[in-house]
Chains A and B, each alone.
Chain A
């Protein structure tokens, strides 16, 4: 082969390699990205149906209930405005506690129950997962917006909650 042809071949191989890699990346990203939602967003039906997603918030006080098998746990996740019941079968992380931040990955089931595949708590007592903190903040601002619009005379109905 002439040097020129050879160089051409190298370039073709390089482009093919990069192309394949980009294809792999895009394909894998499409299937494996999970979006974060807040309990309020789930309440407003913004969360996808039949697809796994993540939700952040606090474990509601007094909501943890264990079933007789000792492994299935029911609890409620809250952003202090809206709540969402979750069921999980398995061993929970050490720092999973009532009133503490938590991130749950799973799918919605009929009847507004979330079946979790994964429950994440942080590795530090004083640490709040940013997603959980974010959920609380969003719910706060949403509620503030609601109440201010409720106070204005143009909207006749009072804001929810």
Chain B
């Protein structure tokens, strides 16, 4: 009964979304306050019914209702409760329901926090989001309902893929989806600005916090996914340029460009058309990401099942969204105008270059990801584009991008003389360069490596990171200089300024992590008998054999590896080789000892037959690898800081004071 109620709620939600997608937009066009007023209550209603539907599915999962096909496919009575809950998004249908739920959450949030916006604007934004919801709910009800019954009911479920039974995977998909779906708000703002023909600095100020919040979710979501791959897939990599990773990375790159171009539109009224185009493109790539992941056209960790009907539906939806938006853009954009003028060397032009580079980087990832699909569709045979392609294209694009990133915050709006800018940064750049050249020579001692290693890539990487930090220091010194109380001047700077610098510092951390882990990691695959030792990166790993152990729904062999350094014990690592009871699927669970400057990483390969307890063992030393995720976390925090800036709230208070009620 409960699943049917869930299904029914979804149908009701679809009807509400249809109302939301039509009436308020009509109302805005005819200036009819009644029709526009429909938007808010309907948005709340949609959230209520999608929420009920989601709760119904959660109920089915938590109560092991294996008469529901989707539950039987993705859960099992032995599964711990937390994973039974996260199994909701362990497959295609439930993921879509989560998508729809988040879309409704964002829609309701816009309805709630938009009291200070003109009614027309709210009506249009909510209307556009309603239309997107219609697309997704139709998709779900026609091709992939999670509420379909299985008759007769299964005695027990097929279990959740063991790879997904992990705390990281409980939060990674929701975070990422919040980001994906969040870009729909930026998109809806852009479309409603085109519809209304009014696109100005105020519009940019309204859409900025929404875009930034979506970007924060996306940043954290991608970082979580990368961290999960690092410890769960057992090969110690943190980014594989896997098509599905790319699918989330493309909208992230464009979202980053969008945040920066919105800043220009707000402060200087420039780049208007470009900003709108970016908002459309970022959301389209989010949809494309959903299509790529869910249609099964790509071979990837994430493609669990393929159904051509679904692929065609999403593709049609994608073409409709992109086509309609671009038509609207072509029709309306000339009205929008180009906005303020600026000089060749100015903060605007630096931000424009940043935008161009980010978009080109996104396009190059796009080409690498979709090239095999096109070639296959055109009948040129199957092929794959490897990680070296992405590195060869991406790194050269990011180097100028980071150089400009250091200059941007120091340059003035509108016009800046080159000599003045050069004078501001010369010492910063020089010290970054000296440090980058010298540090690799000392690194050997610092990281306890066998030898010092100096390579151009390491120097370039470190230079980039130190350059960002130098620029940050210069900027802070400028802002904090002056007369009077120091703390007062520190407090005088806006939160969005600190947020920006924090996010940039995050990029520096990220680059340090990537550079050092790429430059100095040690990876050894060895056969180890009980009692054998192996040296890696100055550490000694002693293998004390494998013992049997048992988890809630698996049995495992647990390895005992004692790590010591210069005769001193550092700790014991216990990697596991699990065998899940229901699916019979094996899983390698790596053991990691994290540290500020290095991770020790051990995972079990396989038992070697005809030996006395010998195993193939992977032993890795990963210097500074955690800085990668620390960097992402800082970027996310920076974004949150920027959103908490006062100027996004001042306007609201002013309006409230103006209203007598």
Contacts and interface: CB of A to CB of B under 8 A. Distances in A.
Asked if A and B are interacting partners, one says yes
Interface string A122-138: 01110101110010000
B163 interface: yes
Given A18-B360, A125-B583, A91 B606 contact: yes
User: Which interface class (under 10, 10 to 19, 20 to 34, 35 or more) fits A?
Assistant: 35 or more
Nearest to A120: B299
Contact of B299 (A21, A33, A71, A129): A129
Nearest to B584: A125
Contact of A6 (B344, B385, B525, B586): B344
A27 interface: yes
A25 B384 CA distance: 15
A1 interface: yes
B396 interface: yes
Interface string B271-303: 000000000000000000000000000010100
A71 to B, nearest CB: 6
Nearest to A129: B299
B605 A91 contact: yes
Nearest to B618: A91
Contacts of B585: 94-95, 124-125
B388 A94 contact: no
**Interface-centre pick from B301, B383, B584, B611 (highest chain A CB count, 10 A):** B383
B608 A70 contact: yes
Contact of B360 (A17, A54, A123): A17
Nearest to B296: A130
A94 B588 contact: yes
Contact of A29 (B356, B368, B608): B368
B587 A25 contact: no
Interface string A5-39: 01001000010011001001101110111111000
B383 A24 contact: no
A54 B393 contact: no
B527 A70 contact: yes
Interface string B71-107: 0000000000000000000000000000000000000
Interface string B334-364: 0000000100100000000000110010011
Interface residues of B, number: 46
Contacts of B371: 29, 33
A69 B356 CA distance: 52
B605 A35 contact: no
Contacts of B356: 14, 17
A40 B594 CA distance: 47
Nearest to B357: A17
B364 A25 contact: yes
B564 to A, nearest CB: 24
A28 B397 contact: no
Interface string A85-105: 000001110110000000000
B416 interface: no
A14 B274 CA distance: 14
Given A18-B360, A24-B397, A91-B605, A29 B385 contact: yes
Nearest to A56: B382
A34 B341 CA distance: 47
Interface of A: 1, 3, 6, 9, 14, 17-18, 21, 24-25, 27-29, 31-36, 54, 66, 69-71, 90-92, 94-95, 123-125, 127, 129-131, 134
Interface of B: 161, 163, 234, 299, 301, 304, 341, 344, 356-357, 360, 363-364, 367-368, 371, 381-386, 388-390, 392-393, 396-397, 525-527, 583-588, 605-606, 608-609, 611, 614, 616, 618
Given A33-B383, A54-B383, A131-B299, 9 more contacts: A21-B393, A25-B367, A28-B389, A29-B385, A32-B385, A33-B384, A70-B616, A91-B525, A123-B161
